[in-house]
Amino acid sequence: MSLLPEQIKAMEYLEQQGSRRSAAQIAERVAASFRAIEEFLEEVSEIEARAHGLPGEWSIQEVVDHLVVTHEASIVELLADESPAGGPIPAALQSPDPLAQRWPDLRAALKRVQGEAARVLRAAPDCPTEARAEVVMVINVTREDGSVEPVHWIEKLDWKAYGIVFRLHVLDHLNQAKKVLRAVRGA
C-alpha cells in the first residue's frame, strides 16, 4: 500500500520532532501543550462545555472526556513498553457517558492524567529502545475539490514519537475546542 504525501509528511515529522529529539525536549513540548489546554479550559463554563456548538462536532466536555480516557490508556502503553493485546487505542475513544461527570471534576481528571503523562515522559531514559506501540494515526487530507477528509492508519512508533503524539493530539483537540467555543459564544 502506498502512502499519501500527507502520511509521509506526518511520519517525517514524528521522526524529526519525536524520535530524533532528546527526552527532555519531548517532555517539555508535551508539557507545554498540556498547559495550553488547561489554561484554555479555565475560561470555559460548564454550560459552554456541554453545548454542541457545531453540527457533527463533539462538545468541549466530550473532547476533554476523550483526552482523559485516551491519555490514561496511552500512559499504560508507555509504561508497559509494548502494544496491548487488544490493538491500538481507538481514534474516537470516549467513556460510556462523556456528559455524566461534573465539568470541574472532568477538568481535574484531565489535569491529573496529564500530570501523570508528563511525569512518565520526564522520567523516560534518553535512549532508543526496540519497543514499539501501535497508534491509530489520523490526519486531515485536503482533496482536489477542497473538501477535507480524515485519513486513518495504524503505525508502530518508538516511545519518543509516541510521546510527541501526545502533543499533537492535545493541540488538535485544543483547536477543535476553540472552534466549538467560538460557535457556542456566537463569535
Helix H or strand E segment including 119: helix 103-123
Pairing of strands 148-157, 133-142: antiparallel
Percent of the chain surpassing pLDDT 70: 95
Is a pLDDT exceeding 90 seen at residue 126?
no
Return the CATH number of the domain spanning residue range 5-185: 1.20.120.450
Q: How far is CA 22 from CA 15, 26, 81, 178, in A?
A: 12, 6, 18, 30
Q: What average pLDDT does the segment 3-31 reach? A: 94
Structure confidence by residue, pLDDT tens digits, 58-117: 999 999 999 999 999 888 877 765 566 677 888 888 999 999 999 999 999 999 999 999
E strand spans, the chain:
133-142, 148-157
Cell numbers that stand for 26 in this block: 519531548
pLDDT of residue 81: 59
Question: Beta partners for 148?
Answer: 142
Q: What average pLDDT does the segment 20-47 reach? A: 96
Domain boundaries, the chain: 5-185
pLDDT of residue 1: 67
Number of Cβ atoms within 10 Å of the Cβ of 185: 11
Is a pLDDT exceeding 70 seen at residue 168?
yes
pLDDT of residue 82: 59
Cell numbers that stand for 124 in this block: 523516560
Q: What average pLDDT does the segment 18-47 reach? A: 96
